[in-house]
Structure 1
Amino acid sequence: MTSAHSDPSPVTVRVPAKVNLELLVGPLRDDGFHTLSTVYQAVSLHDDVTVALDDDWGCSVSGPYADVVPTDATNLALRAASLLAEETGVETPVHISISKSIPVAGGMAGGSADAAATLVACDRLWALGLSTEELEEYAAELGSDVPFLIRGGTAVGSGRGERLAPVLARGNYHWVFAISDIGLSTPDVYAECDRLRGKSSVPDPSPNSELMIALRSGDPHILAPQLTNDLQDAAVSLRPELGELLASGMEFGALGGVVSGSGPTVAFLVEDVESAIDLTVALTATGAAREVRKAIGPIHGAHVIPARVD
């Protein structure tokens, strides 16, 4: 370790959650993943990840979801730091402090977000000077959603979701996320999707042109009918309560609703901030979801912010 006078200050990165506006699932690949075509949007639920030089590698988590996030070597943020150090020849350990606000195991890429934030923070802390494209390449080794959380905004993901292309999108969209206690395993949801499809042949997916037109319009009324998730039927098959939650949100005034990723969070698109408040109150009153959160999108991806002062 260098002296305290020359040690760089800790770096804090804020990183968003994501919602899949469209998730089209193609055939199973030889590597065990499905071919995907998805349209991501970054939304204003976020984690803050602080990386500081330390004598040993380590990770700590605070916030409402801290008790369900591992802090050992399986933590994706810690894996991100280790990968970047190995690939760039850095031998200086760091401690990662995660202030967790993105729901865990909710289909909103909370773990992937922390990994993305860690890559950006370590790049700054270690003065590596990597480009966004280089960071996204490392991110793709960690998980399908990680590259998008570095980029943010709205983007098409292909391959298994890690290959990104920007989308021309206008305006801001108001979201209400209903977060349930229902447990869903991503592999189980994909397996159920395959079971429901049976032996029917599935083509390689491509983005829906109507969705692209809707995003260019900036009008939530046009976007809402285009929200699509091929995993939704599988998630509802495994947990029928999700179907009831989707129906409740529509009944209470949502323009559209979709299971986010592999679930179990349900994302509702609404007209404006007042509608978001009304839907949040209605869903909370029913008790159909453990937690209801409002957000807007699109927003930018992982970015450095001034360090928090505790």
Structure 2
Amino acid sequence: MTLTPVEPLPEREVRVRAPGKINLSLRVGAREEDGYHPLSTVFQAVSVFEEVVATPSSDRTLSVAGVQADVVPTDGTNLALRAVEVLAGHVGVDEGVHLHLEKGVPVAGGMAGGSADAAAALLACDTLWATGLSRAELIEIAAHVGADVPFLLMGHTAVGQGRGHLLTPALTRGDFHWAFAVQDRGLSTSDVYTRFDELHGGVPGPPDGQDDVPLMHALRAGDPHALGAALHNDLQMASLDLDPMLAEPLAVAEDAGALGVIVSGSGPTVAALARSRQHALALAAAFTASGVADRVLTASGPVAGARVVSSD
């Protein structure tokens, strides 16, 4: 009898996609004794994505592909590997894993690409290791990894308090369309906060978010014109001070009829709110034609948080 060779089983892999974010509003209090700034922010997840593929491994390792992959650390300083360590410690797992990151969110661009990787890594390893944690439990663990990581698991639109990790879902209606002027030069978040402190130090005590009532009304009404008028970022002045060239994409977007334009988070990505998907393409074309961006993206929001795309 002739035996037919048996093909080896394919290596199991879990692929997870997580979105980037923008801060529709970011209000920053004065730095506290622990070195952190209390925040009141309104997050929106947008359709610019990171993908993380997790496969079994004897060690815990990481590789990166995509735009700006060469500037992403692959050692223990990477937030995705940090997320793996936090999850493994929480559930008592000793297994290794290899993470492969496929970058789509700008690196050091104020859109939380690293936090999206960490959120995706948490969900991917939870699935790979069959730990059975609920989404609420993963969000709680995510707060120990980084301030933006819980929101990238939650997605959609949410109000963030504390360091941004205390989340309350926000009611929204319809979709909002964006064009992004991306710079390959990053801005260090810590440098932006330091410059913010030097410029004015923030309001005393935690911001309460009362100034964002018009913004919340605009979201509930699905009114992009009102939302554009309500966009706010306390860090924008500090980002512009560190990178004065950011004034150029801000001006281009305004001249092209953006409903609102803002530096995303700590920058340097500039986000322009459009009237429609077609208008977002027109804003992107204006960024490109004027030469004020290294890359241009368009996206819509809100979108869901980290999700398993495939699990073999």
Q: How does 1:197-276 map to 2 (within 5 A)?
A: 197=200, 202-207=204-209, 208-276=212-280
Query: Residue in 2 aligned with 1:177?
Result: 180
* 1:68-217 correspondence to structure 2 within 5 Å: 68-197=71-200, 202-207=204-209, 208-217=212-221
Would you say how many aligned residue pairs link Structure 1 and Structure 2?
Answer: 303
Q: Check conservation: 1:8, 1:125, Cα contact below 8 A.
A: no
| Aligned residue identity for 2:241 | S
How far off is 1:212 after superposition? 0.7
Any conservation in 1 of the 2:17–2:306 contact (CA below 8 Å)?
yes
Equivalent residue of 2:180, what SS? strand
8 Å CA contact retained: 2:119, 2:152: yes
Structure 1 segments, 4+ long, off by >6 Å, are none
- Letter of the 1:287 counterpart: G
Amino acid at match of 1:268: A
CA distance in 2, matches of 1:201, 1:271: 33
Q: CA deviation at 1:192?
A: 1.4
2:297 counterpart residue number: 293
> How many percent identity over aligned positions?
53
The answer as to 2:39 corresponding to 1:36 is yes
**Does the CA-based 8 Å contact 1:66-1:100 persist in structure 2?**
yes
User: How much has 1:63 moved relative to structure 2?
Assistant: 1.1
3-state SS of 2:143 partner: helix
SS of structure 1 residue aligned to 2:199 = helix
Residue identity matched to 1:263 = G
Shift of 1:201: 5.2
CA gap of 1:201–1:300, structure 2 versus 1, over 3 A, is closer
Structure-1 separation of matches of 2:85 and 2:204: 38
Amino acid at match of 1:107: G
- The 2-side partners of 1:185 and 1:130 are apart by 33
Q: CA RMSD in A?
A: 1.6
CA contact (8 A) 1:50 1:307 kept: no
Specify the code of the residue in structure 2 equivalent to 1:18. K
Paired residue secondary structure (1:202)? coil
CA distance in 2, matches of 1:188, 1:49: 28
Tell me the distance in 2 between the aligned counterparts of 1:64 and 1:181: 9
Shift in CA distance, 113/201, structure 1 to aligned 2, threshold 3 Å: closer
User: In the superposition, relative to structure 1, how do residues 300 and 157 fare at CA in structure 2: closer, same or farther (>3 Å)?
Assistant: same
Contact 1:65/1:101 (CA < 8 Å) preserved in 2? Answer: no
Following the alignment from structure 2 to structure 1, what is the Cα–Cα distance between the partners of residues 301 and 106? 17
